[in-house]
Amino acid sequence: MSLIALILALVLERTRHYRSRWFWHELAGHWFTWLPCRHTWSWMLFGIILPTSFIALLQWAIQGWLFGFCSLLLWVILPLLVLGCPELQSAFRDYLQLGAQDPRAACQRFNQKLTHLYPGCASKPLDSLDQTSQFLCWLNFRYYFAVVFWFSVGGPAFAAGYGLLRSLQRTAIDRPDLGCQLAHIIGLMHCLDWLPSRLSGLSYVLSSGSFKGFKVWLTSLHNISRANADWLGSIAMTCRQAHEQKPITCNEMTIATVHLLKSSLLLTLVIIALLTLYGWLI
């Protein structure tokens, strides 16, 4: 069920126009604004845990309805809503268009936008290609790999819970008056992202076959204080540089990074298919 639903959701997400509305973020924003919460623990209880529990209950209750069609519908719609980010995909396309004319300005504009949305993820100069590569890896992780991981572990409920927590972080940034402590959300997200980010880094290593990248990945296993985004960027950069014969341009770096991310996601789907085949996943 999870493999079929995941493939359908990814295919449908690819057909979505990058200028389209981001319904998940809009729904989550209305939900968080409507809740009368003023403390982080109440945000977590009423904003995250209760909706996740309700979806888990619904996931269990509709099993077998209409020969499983209702369950399949839920298992496809939830990840489809959580996967991707049209707003940031639009920013990435603008970066590609400007990058052909002025690579440094394009990097700086793109990185500035993402630094606001993901505080703590910027560890290099904002006009650096390496910082752009790190953000690309982090966006791919936050909006694809992490969703795939939690969906494979706990179905639509876990994917929705992760998506709500991800949206709560953006709400805490955009609406500081709501009383949700951003530092607490970032700390919780760091813990939740630790295991899937290490698995994502391992997929970079396996898809590229880089021994140097594997050594960087091993180092990341016993370092929990450094930002997950920084580790992902370092692993991806090491894996990419292993196949570089000469200095590359901005567009070539972007194409190489995107190719690595696509290869790693495809490898992840293959592994999920094998785990499903052997009965380790639903």
Q: What is the pLDDT of residues 157-197, one digit of tens each?
A: 999 999 988 888 887 777 777 667 777 888 888 889 999 99
Closest of 148, 144, 180 to residue 28, by C-alpha? 180
CA separation, residue 3 to residues 57, 162, 205 (Å)? 21, 19, 23
Q: Give the pLDDT confidence score for residue 150 in this predicted structure.
A: 92
Residue at 19: amino acid letter:
R
Distance from C-alpha of 43 to C-alpha of 227, rounded to nearest angstrom:
24
User: Can you give the pLDDT at residue 123?
Assistant: 58
| Average pLDDT of the chain to the nearest whole number | 80
Asked whether the beta carbons of 96 and 107 are under 8 A apart, the reply is no
Q: Are residues 165 and 32 in contact, defined by beta-carbon separation less than 8 angstroms?
A: no
Q: Is 31 helix (H, G, I), strand (E, B) or coil?
A: helix
Q: Please state whether 39 falls in left (phi above 0), alpha (psi between -120 and 50) or beta.
A: beta
How far apart CA 195 and CA 199 sit, in angstroms, is 6
CA–CA gap between residue 215 and residue 202 (Å, rounded): 11
- Give me the pLDDT at residue 74, please: 86
The listed range with the strongest mean pLDDT (37-51, 68-82, 173-187) is: 68-82
Higher model confidence: residue 215 or residue 116?
Answer: 215
How do residues 256-267 score in pLDDT, each as one tens digit? 888 888 889 899
pLDDT: is 265 or 36 the higher one? Answer: 265
Which of the two residues, 140 and 111, has the higher pLDDT score?
140
Residue 162: predicted pLDDT: 92
Q: At a CB cut-off of 8 Å and minimum separation 6, what does 103 contact?
A: 129, 249, 250, 251
Instruction: Locate the domains of the chain by residue range.
Output: 2-14+22-277
